Amino acid sequence: MNKVHVKKIDFADNYWYPRMKQMAEQVIPYQWSALNDQIPGAEPSHAIENFRIAAGETDGKFHGMVFQDSDVAKWIEAASFSLQHTPNAELEQIIDAVVDLMERAQQEDGYLNTYFTVAAPEQRWKDQSFGHELYCAGHLIEAAVAYFEATKKRKFLDIMCRYVDLIDRVIGPEADQLQIYDGHEEIELALVKLYRVTKEDKHLKLSQFFVNERGKQPSFLESEPTFGNDFKDRWFALDYHQAHAPVREQETAEGHAVRAMYLYSAMADLALLTGDTGLKNALIELWKHVTTKRMYVTGGLGSQGHAERFTVDYDLPNDTAYTETCAAIGLIMWAVRMLQLEPNREYADVMERALYNGALSGISLDGTKYFYVNPLEVHPQVARYRYDMKHVEPERVPWFGCACCPPNIARLISSLDRYIYTTAGDSVYVHLYAAHECKLEVDGQQVGLVMDTRYPWEGHIAVQIHAAQPVEFDLCLRLPAWAPSAKLRVNDEAINVPSVIERGYIKLRRQWREGDRVTLQLPMSVQRIASHPKVHENAGKVALQRGPVVYCLEEVDNGADLTDIRLNLSSSSDFKAEYRDDLLGGVVIIRAEGERSDLRYWEGKLYDGFQPAYVTVPVVAVPYAHWGNRKPGEMLVWMRQG
């Protein structure tokens, strides 16, 4: 059987290509300035200066979060991904200088962590609950792997291999080693990436150790002084760390949402590489639980600000939602790994939902402002005053003291080519649609795919094959769940779509020839989305979705008191979709008719007998990911329906 390998993807669309270009030309330089405290009005980072202090080159105290090193690591990873599609000698020199600085900051035994070198050297390996020691190591490993893949320079990789060798000596299953793991998962998936580059079994085995050790009882975490954070309450118990049970026995998604996503991603990597059915079966159950009971319609995760965590099934409040940008990114990371385990539309549908909505909302259109928290309903005056909404920012900000999200969104968008395809044997699965050129290798033969589309605004997708000689393989195109009907042609032949569907993919097997063309037409009608009746906050409400894009109302278009608006529609045909190239960088907006209360009736009253008094108003909805890019104001995803 032929083997298909994806070799290279070059974007050419009007949606993602400009964003990837923006990452390279604006966002990555902006974030470098932020890491060096050069953004007026932004919270200071001190992250690069911490490395200088650790190297003994400047005096001063460590500043920032204990995991401040990870901001630099994720920035290097984003920059490295960017270099792979946008070469930049100046950027490469900057990274080289940072790597040199890290080498000077590395301790004689290989240790590399500025917080525990500068601020708390006596606490090495003693604070896994909140020290983020191995978490930072993980992000540095990922950065080193990405930089090696982009440049083939080994220096950073060698630095991290020295550090990993130290970790491997200190931590492990032997009696003279520490049987510990980091409270914040990350190193587990990073070690798998390192293994794929070095091919050294010890790196894979160390990842397995961390995953297998998690959840064993009694847990060493409970004996640490920092366990429970400053609060020492039930929300920071073992389940906060996904350490309440061995990972293969976990059936529900618990605790800190980002930590959970990174753990599940590592478990999927290990299941793929080792064939561990216990891990795979646990992941399937966890996936079902997350996506059917604890996920927002935007792909956001984590409904409670305190402990940034999951709570209970169907508890999905809109205005107090936490839905950290990093959690949506983590869901995307997990989804693509599930697709590598088994191609199944449900994984790709969720990946797309989180990508176009819950993750992308975390960055402004100009790339210089960010949301850490992504609620589905915002009332600025209330959010600025209420204690239980203190985590909600009504506007994006230039940077954060806890700045995990900005470089995370940069590395996601810069590496988007890694999420379009997966392969299995002689089958190539297309999960996401964007105009691009792709080079495949099929049993040693070079094959080109050229996709032309204006997705997500239009549903027409055309794929042309370029092959010097006929070559046989499966081309599998995802049929999204939101598109129950579709039209398909291969060259001039109309194909009966239901007859070629397999696990949600249109599977086309044939001997492909130069110039063969596949055209797929997805319906792009506006859909009213309802939520499970147990999601109490959404009772009697609908959200609007068109294609993969979830919509919202903004005050700038509809006036204040958005919760008072109710849609007065009987069918989806009552919605009008309109492309506006002069708005928000070019988007499809949705127009509809609605009603709101006649406030004249309520003058001087707070309560009264129910006597409906409404006026008809036009309603305009814009993509959720684009909200907050004009002027501050209210925002609303779930709307009342008359």
DSSP 431-481: -S--SEEEEEEETTEEEEEEEEE-TTT--EEEEEEEESS-EEEEEEEE--T
Task: Provide the pLDDT for residue 611.
Answer: 78
Query: How far is 473 from 511, CA to CA, in rounded Å?
Result: 7
User: If we measure between CA atoms, which residue out of 348, 309, 306 comes closest to residue 326?
Assistant: 309
CB-based contacts of 463: which residues, under 8 Å, 6+ apart? 430, 449, 450, 451, 452, 475, 477, 517, 518, 519, 520
Q: What is the pLDDT of residue 291?
A: 98
Within 10 angstroms of residue 341's Cβ, the number of other Cβ atoms is 18
Structural domains of the chain in order of their starting residue, each with its CATH number? 6-419 (1.50.10.10), 429-521 (2.60.40), 526-641 (no CATH)
Beta bridge partners of 423: 428
List the structure tokens of 190: 């990073």
The DSSP 8-state label assigned to residue 463 in this structure reads E
- The tokens describing 181, both together, are 């793991």
pLDDT value at position 610? 83
- For the chain, the maximum distance between any two Cα atoms, rounded to a whole number of angstroms, is 80
Whose CA is closest to 142, among 250, 70, 207?
70
Residue 112 to residue 133: CA distance in whole angstroms: 9
Task: Write the DSSP string, 83-125.
Answer: HHHS--HHHHHHHHHHHHHHHHHS-TTS---HIIIII-GGGTT
Model confidence, pTM: 0.97
Q: Which pLDDT score is estimated for 600?
A: 87
Q: Can you give the pLDDT at residue 169?
A: 98
Q: Residue 1's pLDDT is what?
A: 45
Position 355, amino acid: L
Please say whether the dihedral angle defined by the alpha carbons of residues 199, 203, 207 and 209, taken in this order, is positive or negative: positive
State residue 3's pLDDT score.
79
The question of whether 404 is a catalytic residue gets the answer yes
122 catalytic per annotation: no
Distance CA 279, CA 248 (A): 6
Residue 571, pLDDT score: 61
Among 548, 500, 499, which residue's Cα sits nearest to residue 522? 548
State the Cα–Cα distance between residues 423 and 339, nearest whole angstrom: 9
Cβ atoms of 481 and 429 closer than 8 Å: no
- Residue 587's closest CA among 338, 347, 365, 350? 365
- As averages over each run of 10 residues, the pLDDT of the chain (642 residues) reads 80 95 97 96 95 97 97 98 96 98 98 98 98 98 98 98 98 98 98 98 98 98 97 97 98 98 98 98 98 98 97 98 98 98 97 98 97 97 93 95 96 97 94 96 92 98 96 97 95 94 96 97 96 96 97 98 89 85 97 92 89 89 98 97 82
Asked if 269 contacts 192 with a C-beta cutoff of 8 angstroms, the reply is yes
pLDDT of residue 612: 75
Considering 77, 186, 188, 308, which one is annotated as catalytic?
Answer: 308
Query: What pLDDT shows up at residue 4?
Result: 81
User: 223: which 2 tokens?
Assistant: 């004996």
Residue 479: per-residue pLDDT: 98
Catalytic residue among 136, 326, 404, 405: 404
**Listed residue (144, 119, 145) closest to 50, CA to CA:** 119
Distance CA 471, CA 513 (A): 7
| The two structure tokens encoding residue 390 | 């203190």
Dist. CA 404–CA 2, nearest whole Å: 42
298, 550 Cβ separation under 8 angstroms: yes
